Structure formats: C-alpha cells, structure tokens
Amino acid sequence: MERAEILKRVIGILTEAQDIRLAAEAGQDIEAPAANGVATLLLNEMLPSIRVPADASPQQVAAHVSKALGPALHTMVSGFSLAFTSLAIAHDGGRTDVSSIEVLQELALEVEAGMYDEGP
C-alpha cells in the first residue's frame, strides 16, 4: 500500500474516533462493535498479509513478520505523528475557528495533493 493511502487511513481512524467521541458527548448510544469496526477495517487494510513457510524456525518467522510489518508500521506511526502535530499546531496557535475534524480534513486534502509523498 502506498504511503498516501496509509496516511489517509490513519486520518480516517482519527476522524472516526472523533465522530464517536462527539456522539458519546451528545448522549447517543454507541455500540462497541460499530464503534471499533471502522478502525479495525482500516488497520487491517494497512497491514500486509504475511506468508511464512510451514517449516520455518521461530527466528525465520520473526524475520518474515518484521520484514513484512516494519515498513507499514513505520508509515502508520508517521501518519499518527503527522496528524498529532497538525492538531497540536492548531491548538497551540489558539485556532478557535476550526474544529479538530476540520484540521484532519485539511490534512487529508494535503495528503491527497501529494504534500507528504516523500519521507520515511
């Protein structure tokens, strides 16, 4: 999966979490499976499938898992860090004219425009 796709899914997870929080604050009944469904789906989409030979040693299994998951996890952490930084900048700058969801939407548009195609 490309970096931009992972970043957009991370933003989707955070946006969904914010929607759930706002619904809970409004007193809306939220079922746990529904609340966790989108995040789980997006996380599963970001993680690659792993094939390990049946006769692999524990060390070989660890090497396969590390090689397969390492890049995706690194990009996911980068995405969460980017989103946190964007939200922190808006907050620390005293921005009261935008909501956190609007900050995440702006970030998603920047990702879509290719502003974060380069990097780890």
For residue 44, the one-letter residue type is N
15: which 2 tokens? 């946006």
Residue 7, burial from CB neighbour count under 10 angstroms (0-12, 13-18, 19+): buried
Q: Is the pLDDT reported for residue 35 higher than 60?
A: no
- Residue 46 burial (10 A CB sphere; 0-12, 13-18, 19+): buried
Q: State residue 31's pLDDT score.
A: 64
Q: Which helix (H) or strand (E) holds 51?
A: none
Q: Identify residue 88 by its one-letter amino acid code.
A: A
The crossing angle, in degrees rounded to 10, of helices 58-92 and 32-46 is 110
Check residue 32 and give its pLDDT: 55
User: What is the reported pLDDT for 30?
Assistant: 67
- What does the block give as tokens for 28? 């809306």
Q: Bigger pLDDT: 57 or 28?
A: 57
The 10s digit of each residue's pLDDT in 86-99 is: 999 999 999 999 99
